[in-house]
Amino acid sequence: MRLAWHDAWGGARGVVMHLAPEARLVVACALLFASLASPVATGAGSALSGAICGAWILSCRPPWRVLRSALLLGMTLFLPFFLLTPWLEAGASSLGRATVPWTILVRGSSCLVVSLTAASTLAASDLREALLRLPAPAMVTMIMTQIVHQVPLLIDETRRIAAAMVVRAATGRGVPSWRVARALPLVWLPRVLERSERVAAAMTLRGYCESSGDLRQSRRLDPRDCAAVALAILVLASAVVLRWLP
């Protein structure tokens, strides 16, 4: 189930990769909202949620480690809710007391699958390109770009510090460990901040912080992109309508 942050981004090989980055992002967001809006307590809602996940996986063909991590994480997080079934009130659906745990399981797992599968279709450069071409605020674009680029580096820096502590036998008990725990912020925080500053400076030199409008006009969506976006919006509308039907 262990999956590194940078391993989740990119690596898909499905037909979705032929779409423009901004089209991939819009389609992923529409399908995510459709998974949230789908009334999974009913048979039709569960079928729609399963169809969304299945069609999205087949269209993206993410790496197996990404799909496996999404499924295992969903099972680990949401299956324990079924232990509360005896103390829950029976719902109006045919699931009875299992209505709430089933809703949490299906909705949470589908959102995880859609989100991680969407991440596998967008490399860091694709995400930045998509955010620049979409009418997103410049601050949001810069924050998302910084998060995607810097988080794996900060995680690697933290792992190196932890490995150095293990080598120096700083993981035992007693006064030495307490002193190490007190001194950890003085060691970890400056190194992490220094690494993040170097990454930010390198990204600035490469133009990642420039939000020029030329990129938005450099490429228009072709009919294939428009068709994918329209289909995703139709799925979202179907989920909303299905939710409000009696």
Tokens found for residue 15:
């037909």
Measured in whole angstroms, how far is the alpha carbon of residue 15 from the centre of its chain?
A: 20
* Chain segment 16-44, per-residue pLDDT in tens: 999 999 999 999 999 999 999 999 988 89
Per-residue buried b or exposed e for 111-149, using 16+ beta carbons within 10 Å of the residue's own CB:
bbbbbbbbbbbbbbebbbbbbbbbeeeeeebbebbbebb
pTM of the complete model: 0.78
Q: What is the pLDDT of residue 193?
A: 72
- Which DSSP string do the residues of 122-155 spell out, in sequence order? --HHHHHHHHHHTT--HHHHHHHHHHHHHHHHHH
Regarding predicted confidence, which is higher, 120 or 201?
A: 120
State the pLDDT at residue 8. Answer: 75
pLDDT greater at residue 65 or residue 200: 65
SS3 24: helix
Q: 231: which 2 tokens?
A: 């289909």
pLDDT mean over 181-197: 67
**pLDDT of 106:** 94
pLDDT of 209 reads: 56
Mean pLDDT of 216-225: 71
Alpha-carbon distance of 70 to 181, in angstroms, equals 33
Q: What is the pLDDT of residues 132-141, one digit of tens each?
A: 888 877 777 7
Q: Work out the mean pLDDT of the chain and round it to a whole number.
A: 81
For the chain, the domains span 6-122+219-244, 136-211
pLDDT, one tens digit per residue, over 142-180 is: 777 777 767 776 667 667 766 766 676 555 554 455 555
pLDDT band for position 182 (cuts 50, 70, 90): low
Mean pLDDT confidence for 211-234 = 76
pLDDT value, residue 212: 47
